[in-house]
Amino acid sequence: MTYVYALSGTLLISLVSLVGLFALSKKEGVIKKYIYFFVSLAVGALLGDAFIHLIPESFENLENGTTVGLLIIAGFFLFFVIEKFLHWHHHSDDADENHVHPVGELVLFSDGVHNFIDGIVIGVSFMVSIPVGVATTIAVILHEIPQEIGDFAVLLHAGYSRKRALWLNFLSALAAVCGTFVAFFLGEAGTGFVVYILPIAAGGFIYIAATDLIPELHKTKSVKKSFWQIFAIILGIALMLALTLVE
């Protein structure tokens, strides 16, 4: 039953990625009109997740602060290399008619890694006890909703169609199920694996927010839109901060 509960929890979390369904019922012009707000929300959610959740947790689990710092830098550099590769791939593929910005693939990769970690954490939590597992699942769901909305917005901004963005976001979310199976396989050793992945994921989130999304936000010159961008970033950070009250 522990395995059933854990898998049910991760499947429920994967379904959270379908929050983008609301966009499918809206006119494309309306979505594009407000996409800057949700991209800004993604910036706040990514930075808030990295600095409020992942990095502090990494320092708690790893005694050597230098190791944590190096892993964060490694994550930042890893995503730099991945994006370089994606840029080279897109540049050489001149026949491709679908001009999708590499940040879309980068977000899918980073979100997949994050969901994979969530799956491991949930699996390990249910192995501790069912109440602990349920509490962890609820915390992760609350954590995922603002981030999934932001991720969906970034995919649309990168050039994916609404249906394709929704489908790819859902596939990325299914990495949580894989993570749960890994947790079952590794047992208690799974927690030891997670502590080293968390700071790497944090570095990746910081990279995406700082180098891909924020420069895009600077392209908006409107004072009114700039105000809403700042508000959305603060809102994303505030949501991540509020989650510390329920974790």
Which pLDDT tens digit goes with each residue over 32-47?
A: 677 778 788 888 888 8
pLDDT score of 76: 92
How many residues in total does the chain contain?
Answer: 247
- Express each pLDDT in 47-91 by its tens digit: 888 898 888 888 988 888 899 999 999 989 988 887 777 665 554
pLDDT score of 118: 76
The mean of the pLDDT values for the chain is 77
Across the range 169-177, mean pLDDT stands at 83
Query: 106 is written with which tokens?
Result: 């980068």
More confident residue, 130 or 97: 130
pLDDT score of 231: 94
Which amino acid type is present at position 94? D
pLDDT score of 100: 64
pLDDT at 228 over 50: yes
Domain residue ranges of the chain, discontinuous segments joined by +: 2-245
